[in-house]
Structure 1
Amino acid sequence: MNDLLLKLRDKGNTVLVVEHDPDVMAIADHIVDMGPAAGNQGGEVVYTGNFAGLRSSGTVTGEHLDTRQPIKRQPRAPAGFIAVRGADTNNLRDVDVDIPQGVLVAVTGVAGSGKSSLIHGSLAQRKDVVAVDQAPIRGSRRSNPATYTGVLEPIRKAFAKANGVKPALFSANSEGACPNCNGAGVIYQDLGIVAGISTMCEECQGNRFQSSVLKYTLGGANITDILAMPVVEALRFFSGPHPAAKLPAAGSILTRLRDVGLGYLTLGQPLSTLSGGERQRLKLAIEIGSDAAVLILDEPTSGLHMADTAHLVAMLERIVEAGRSVIVIEHNLDVVACADWVIDLGPGAGHEGGRVIFSGPAQALLSAEESLTGLHLRQRESTG
């Protein structure tokens, strides 16, 4: 990919790349770093210049350029194994493999080597397994993290109890919705053969609710104030000193959202504005609360900053420590290094892949000569 980017530049093109990978940053002629953090704590240019300058800039990106997760030297012992026999989905060649339970498993290999075919084709359909991917989230234009995760339900009930009215008033999908925009906050106009446009609703000014609903408060805030709060602020609000606003049910969901790295999202942000990585972490926040014994994540670091990846790894470790099995289909070497067990497919892609070329602890992968993952893991260690 880097070779292609350089060729595009050398042909006279201006190439703009939105990226978290330090290897891509290293070949850039100029870097613009945004921050200092995410959500309402971001939105500023915190550094511009070359790669060497970024390393000493003091920004979150600069501080993580040389930070690597060490290879796990004392991996957990598997509590058991899930036997997969004769897997032949897509390019798989009658694969037999034992997948460890009770540990963090990384399934690796080049793109097209058969990773997803193996895991989704052989495991995802089991009743004790939950698979989380980056597929679009289904929902209406009024859907947001509050409605999708269910955190709005205890909030609506608390508003109703505190004000002696019906919970339905505090839903933009029900009785409290602005009648002009039907709770969307905007008016959508279909322009036929060209892209439609949306304009702010003049009646509710984007608040989505009838003005009469906004007179009701909980802990000094109305429902629009709550939906405008980032997750971390809402967590403090519902854990704060006001008795009516103490909601353990909301706090539990908000804590999971924070733990998956979505503390910056506002509760009312439309789902249509979320990235693929954000959608996956939103699903993960829900599934952490499920009873499934096995959790499958398909490239969860896609779209994540290096700091977010470190946060994700720590969260996956906690899930395993709680007694569940976690299987991660991943390319990120920081995640691979932290795995208790690695299953590497390949050696190449398509018809050159489709077989297991390594299965064992991450440290042993360093000496797997046939594995491209092992090669890059060795190179990473030698430059660390």
Structure 2
Amino acid sequence: MSMIRIHGAKQNNLKNISVDIPKHQITVFTGRSGSGKSSLVFNTIAAESERLLNETYSTYIQHQLSQFSKPNVDLIEHLPVAMIINQNRLGGNSRSTVGTISDIYASVRLLWSRIGEPFVGYSDIFSFNNPKGMCETCSGLGYVEDIDLNELLDFDKSLNEDAIRFPSFRPDSWRGKRYLYTGLFDNDKKLKDYSKEELDIFLYTKPTKLKNPPSNWPRTAKFEGLIHRFRRSFLLNDNFEKQKFKNDIERVVTSKECPTCNGKRLSPKVLECKINDYDIADFTNLSIDEALKFIKTIDSAKASVIIDPLQQQLESLSYIGLNYLTLSRETTTLSGGESQRIKLIRHLNSALSDLVYIIDEPSIGLHPEDIQRINEIIQSLKDKGNTVLVVEHDPDVIKIADHIVDLGPLAGKNGGEITFTGSYHNLLHSQTHTGQALRRQHRLKPSQLSNNDFLSISNISRNNLKNVSVKIPKEAMTVITGVAGSGKSSLIHAGLEKMPDTIFIDQKPAHASNRSNLLTYLNIFDDVRSYFSEETGIKKSMFSYNSEGACVECHGKGIIKTELAFMPDFTQICDVCHGKRYKPEVLNAKVNDYNIADILALTVDEAISFFNKKPEISQPLEALKSTGLNYMTLGQSLDTLSGGEIQRVKLSKYLTKTVHQHIFIFDEPTTGLHEDDIPILLECFDQLIKASNTVIIIEHNLTMMTHADWFIDIGPYAGEQGGQLLYQGEAHGLLDVERSVTAKHLRNYLNK
């Protein structure tokens, strides 16, 4: 059997490991969170495959591609081209939909152009991204945006007094100066005192050359009214600034459905063209299952060449558990799990073979009922002659492996070793943490609800929910179950989002740049710097790599990036600070033989020992440890954390200070969590409940379900076939609900 051979992998926490991975098989990589799975699979195997492939292109093409530095590995032999299917959201912008990203919309446009009546043009006219077909009022977006002048401007102030209430239009900014330096306005006059003509010039002038500009006005610049400039800068383009000022834009801009196309994005002429009384937007607004039913009603011999493959594409989306989505759904609203499944579908019909598919936790966001289908897709990728590598915690996915590589034994510095290779059967009998977790027998939590005090959610009809009312016991753990798209999140968000003292802890990234780390998020980096300042006599600001203490060569980044024309950017560790980010005099200042960079390299466990006499620092770190994140380093950049890790970092903030009488809502907190780490999370939930809080968990993980005091099961299926309350009550009662797929899988799990 041919093998991918890895020799001496030392990336991140990997301890010089060598391993053989069988080709044309499914290999699943297991181990505790932080054990080194991603370091081996993504940062070593995938990165090296992509780097070597990129090197085969011309330097011009290489410049356009993502750049990969050589991973820290001695040698990889027999490495195929890698296809990476990760959990990164599909992204895009408001013009990108499920239909466009999956290429299904191209077939739909072709279909309407061929047999739609009356004929209005060829397929490109049905594109809302094409000026010929888009609605002129909303430019194909489906909504129009208005600027609220009372939010954008403070009429009681002058231009000199910061009358434009938006960060990038401050008087000292280059945009602000485009109004202050025109000579058109009295910069000390309050906006409320402007005449109508002055206000119109200030707000609505189209780009124009100034006749007699003052000397400080840029020579080539045109003057543009504030509304035009704001609309062009922040509404018409999806750019970095639109993300940067997201909160301010939401404050200033109101959005409503386009009155011309009623949200359908296309011009009235295009929408006249129909098949069986449906225009193309009516069709894309149907759920995938409803769209399939509609396609089957079309009887047209000349369009069968379009209809048959279109039906196959829709059936693939439905089969993989995305039957509740619509083709018009914007990709920016999809979860990581939904994005990943759409990527999987794209590869299903690929004619390429002998690739290595690398898949990151395909079980994420999936009910056990849907995992069986994911497993079939993974199997089909293998059957086409490919090698499949899967990083996974879910027992149902681990079970289909031909070969398993387990990393550990623990996380971070205590991981990075191979603890097992072999078959699933042999893993079950091994003494690894994974083997022990998979052997463990599970029972439902015995009934112990002592108080009868309940929260009530009444008559919820949102998305697919059909007038659902539920009650949730206070000071207990309620698990909300049901397949993806059944209506779980809709129920909880609609019922509780406006309730006071409700805390949603989700997997959305913490607002962070690559300069934010665990210490900054926990608000204790300031305490660490104060401590170093007191102990060394050096002023506090010197211990910040974003301020005075930053290495003058790399400006506190630790790396130097050199941009080369027609060549990839060249990144190297700064040779002045050796990647430590600080000036030499800061690195020479030590407390107990540790400088500030050494502190940032400590794990949470090590830092607790170091700061054991500084409770203001050690207590937040203890809280972080209690969520199972003891393996992380203090300087780890927040933008490198997984969704599950982000959720646990957010949770730790509430474990530091005692919070009472609150409702905590967790969205799939077991994401990225090894089965052996789940008890750590359960202890955190117990701590919250003991402090008189209510814990509500939206979850698919069967181990987590066995610890529920109360179940609410929504279903039976997704989309239009879901949205019903199947069960609410104590744990044992759920097992008797025949319509519930959750009950079916829970029964099997308890009897394994």
TM-score (norm 1): 0.93
1:64 paired with 2:437, answer: yes
How many Å apart are 1:12 and its aligned residue? 2.0
Map of 1:25-174 to 2, 5 A cutoff? Answer: 25-78=398-451, 80-174=453-547
* Most deviating of 230-239 and 74-83: 74-83
Provide the C-alpha distance between the structure 2 equivalents of 1:193 and 1:119, rounded to a whole number of angstroms. Answer: 52
Is the CA contact (8 Å cut-off) linking 1:228 and 1:268 kept in structure 2? yes
Further displaced range: 207-216 or 293-302: 207-216
User: C-alpha distance in 1, partners of 2:665/2:563?
Assistant: 39
Instruction: Answer whether contact 2:735 2:746 (CA < 8 A) is retained.
Output: yes
Correspondence for 1:236 among 595, 600, 609: 609
Q: Take 2:738 and 2:565, find their aligned partners in 1: how far apart are those partners?
A: 57
1:194: how far off? Answer: 9.4
* Higher CA-based Rg: 2
Which residue of 596, 614, 623 maps to 1:256?
A: 623
What's the counterpart of residue 286 of structure 1?
A: 653
Secondary structure, in 3 states, of the residue corresponding to 2:444?
A: coil
Deviation at 1:170, TM superposition (A): 1.4
Distance, in Å, in 2 between the alignment partners of 1:277 and 1:29 is: 27
Worse overlay, 87-96 or 320-329: 87-96
8 A Cα contact 1:77 1:103, kept in partner = no
Equivalent position amino acid for 1:276 in 2 = G
Point out where structure 2 has 5 or more consecutive residues left out of the alignment.
Answer: 1-373
Shift of 1:178: 1.6
SS at match of 1:127: coil
Q: Secondary structure of 1:92's match? A: coil
**Is 1:328 paired with 2:701?**
no
Cα distance in 2 for residues equivalent to 1:145 and 1:52: 39
**Aligned counterpart, 1:243:** none
Q: Who is 1:297 aligned against?
A: 666
Compare relative contact order (CA 8 Å, sep 6+) and give the higher one, 1 or 2: 1
Which residue in 2 is equivalent to 1:348? 717
Q: 1:132-162: CA deviations, max 9, x gaps?
A: 1111221122111111111212211111111
For the residue of structure 2 that corresponds to 1:27, the secondary structure is coil
1:158–1:218 CA contact under 8 A, matched in 2: no
Q: What is the RMSD of the two structures over their aligned residues, measured on CA atoms?
A: 2.0
Which residue of the partner structure matches residue 383 of structure 2?
10
Q: Aligned partners of 1:170 and 1:367: how far apart in 2?
A: 61
Secondary structure of the residue aligned to 1:328 is: strand
Change in 2 beyond 3 A, CA 1:197/1:75? farther
Distance, in Å, in 2 between the alignment partners of 1:280 and 1:340 is: 22
| Bigger shift: residues 310-319 or 201-210 | 310-319
Cα 1:286–1:195 change in 2 (3 A) is farther
**Contact residue 75 and residue 339 of structure 1 kept, 8 A:** no
Q: Distance in 1 between matches of 2:442 and 2:683?
A: 11
Q: Using the TM superposition, name which of 21-30 and 314-323 deviates more.
A: 314-323
- Map 1:158-197; keep pairs closer than 5 Å: 158-188=531-561
Shift of 1:324: 1.1
Q: 269, 272, 276: which one pairs with 2:639? A: 272
Q: Residue 90 of structure 1: CA displacement?
A: 1.7
Quickly say closer, same or farther: Cα 1:190–1:253, change in 2 above 3 A.
Answer: farther
Structure 1's unaligned 5+ residue stretches are: 240-245
Give a deviation string over 1:291-322, Cα, whole Å, max 9, x none.
36111110010111111112212221222122
Residue of structure 2 aligned with 1:212, choices 581, 585, 588: 585
Paired position in structure 1 for 2:574: 201
Rounded to whole Å, the distance in 1 between the matches of 2:446 and 2:412 is: 36
| CA distance in 1: counterparts of 2:619 and 2:396, whole angstroms | 38
Query: Secondary structure, in 3 states, of the residue corresponding to 1:98?
Result: strand
For each residue in 1:332-377, what CA deviation from the matched residue of structure 2 results, as whole angstroms up to 9, or x when unmatched? 1111110111111111111111121111111221112221111111
Query: Residue 330 of structure 1 contacts residue 336 of structure 1 at CA under 8 Å; is this kept in 2?
Result: yes
Partner AA of 2:666 in structure 1: L
Contact 1:68 1:334 in 2 (8 A): no
What do residues 269-310 of structure 1 show as CA deviations (whole Å, max 9, x unaligned)? 112221111111111112334636111110010111111112
Deviates more, 1:124-133 or 1:193-202: 193-202
Taking a change above 3 Å as real, the CA distance of residues 370 and 60 of structure 1, as seen in their structure-2 partners, is: same
Is the contact between residue 447 and residue 730 of structure 2 (CA under 8 Å) also seen in structure 1?
no
Aligned partner of 1:362: which letter?
A: A
Maintained 8 Å contact 1:130/1:287: no
In the TM superposition, residue 121 of structure 1 has moved relative to its aligned partner by 2.7
1:226 corresponding residue in structure 2:
599
Quote how far apart the aligned CAs of 1:79 are: 5.5
Deviates more, 1:296-305 or 1:312-321: 312-321
Query: Which region of structure 1 is more displaced relative to structure 2, 223-232 or 117-126?
Result: 117-126
How far 1:258 sits from its partner (Å)? 0.3
**Larger CA deviation: 216-225 vs 298-307:** 216-225
Deviation of 1:203 after TM superposition, in Å, equals 1.9
Asked if 1 retains the 8 angstrom alpha-carbon contact of 2:553 and 2:576, the reply is yes
Change (3 A) 1:140 1:333: same
2:244 counterpart residue number: none
- 2: distance between equivalents of 1:271 and 1:27? 33
Q: Which moved more, 1:299-308 or 1:208-217?
A: 208-217
Distance 2:483 2:610 in 1: 45
Cα distance in 2, alignment partners of residues 124 and 188 from structure 1:
44
Please say if 1:338 is aligned against 2:707.
yes
Aligned to 1:17, what secondary structure does the other structure show?
Answer: strand
Distance 2:599 2:524 in 1: 11
Cα distance, 1:68 vs structure 2: 4.0
Q: In the TM superposition, what is the alpha-carbon distance from 1:192 to its structure 2 partner?
A: 9.5
Structure 2 counterpart of 1:56, which letter? Answer: H
Which of 678, 685, 693 is matched with 1:316 structurally? Answer: 685
**Identity across the alignment (%):** 44
Number of residue pairs the alignment of both structures matches: 377
Partner of 1:382: 751
Q: Partner of 1:179: helix, strand, or coil? A: coil
* 1:175-213 Cα deviation digits (max 9, x unpaired): 212232222212345679998664312221110111111
Contact kept, 8 Å, 1:69 with 1:338, in 2: the verdict is no
176-185 vs 230-239, greater mean Cα deviation:
176-185
Q: How much has 1:96 moved relative to structure 2?
A: 1.1
**Contact 1:137–1:279 at 8 Å: present in 2 too?**
yes
CA gap 1:118/1:197 in 2 versus in 1, 3 angstroms: farther
